[in-house]
Amino acid sequence: MKEIITYAVITGASSGLGKAFAFELAKRKVNLILISLPHEGLEEVVQQLRAYLIEISCYETDLRCSENIVSVSNSINSNFNVSMLINNAGMGGTKRFLDADTNYLNNIIQLNVMSTSLITRALLPNLLRQKQSYILNVSSMAAFSPMGFKTVYPASKAFIHHFSRGLYQELKDTSVFVSVVNPGPMKTNKDCTDRINRQGLLGKLGLLTPGKVAEISIRQLLRKDTVIMLGLGNAINWLLMMILPIWVRLPLLTKVIEREIKKDKCFQKV
């Protein structure tokens, strides 16, 4: 009987955590389907991954557009067996709500909420056909509390968290296992690193590299951990979120973000 070749789909795969997921799975000899925006260096990532002697396909498209999601999903379903979906693509930002224009807000909502929902729905029949398959959604520690100056981002990540938990319950008696990971701060690029440094000690609590987050996430996903927490720092962070009442937590976190904005303005003036 011919062996069925299966693939893991990773969105936002050209850099940061998505790239780290690709390398972590490549080390495990998992074939990959990588999705990223055009002109983001995905081909360079693919060339580096060739050393692992696995099958790799890639799509360069903007997942903020639902028509693109339909097109990519149709192509994947027609050509590949999918045994893992990692919904990593997402975006955030720090800005006063009054300063956020329509495109800024729409981009966060479309990428974090719409694309995750639609690509999961589109690939789910494919995942269900496999003997065992996995969905990993990337949420954030920000999902556990609202905060000023990041109004839409935590709300979008709260959606991801609750969407994942609900989908897990719905699919728990099927071959598809659903998990969600809630990373804290990660130094994925220079801009992100600068923002983390401006937030002070509280902003750095639970700081991990993308490689470490990917390693822990894949290990716990395969162990069927439904909600993945990442190390002691993130556990402490989560515990503080749960213990502190909202009237303490909300202004405290908002002050941290406000400090980041003020330092950013000072940095830009220099």
**Catalytic site residues?**
153
Please write down the long-range contacts of 172-176, taking CB distance under 8 Å and 24 or more positions apart. Answer: 174/128, 175/127, 175/128, 175/130, 175/131, 175/132, 175/133, 176/124, 176/127, 176/128, 176/133, 176/134, 176/135
Closest CA to 137 of 88, 205, 69: 88
Q: What is the token pair recorded at 42?
A: 């995905």
Residue 148, classified by CB atoms within 10 Å of its CB into exposed (0-12), middle (13-18) or buried (19+), is middle
Token look-up 């800005």 returns 95
Residue type, 223: R
Alpha carbon separation from 16 to 113, 195, 210, 211, 214 (Å, rounded): 20, 15, 6, 9, 10
> What's the chain's length in residues?
270
CB atoms within 10 A of CB 53: 8
Virtual CA dihedral for 73, 102, 12, 58, nearest 10 degrees?
Answer: 50
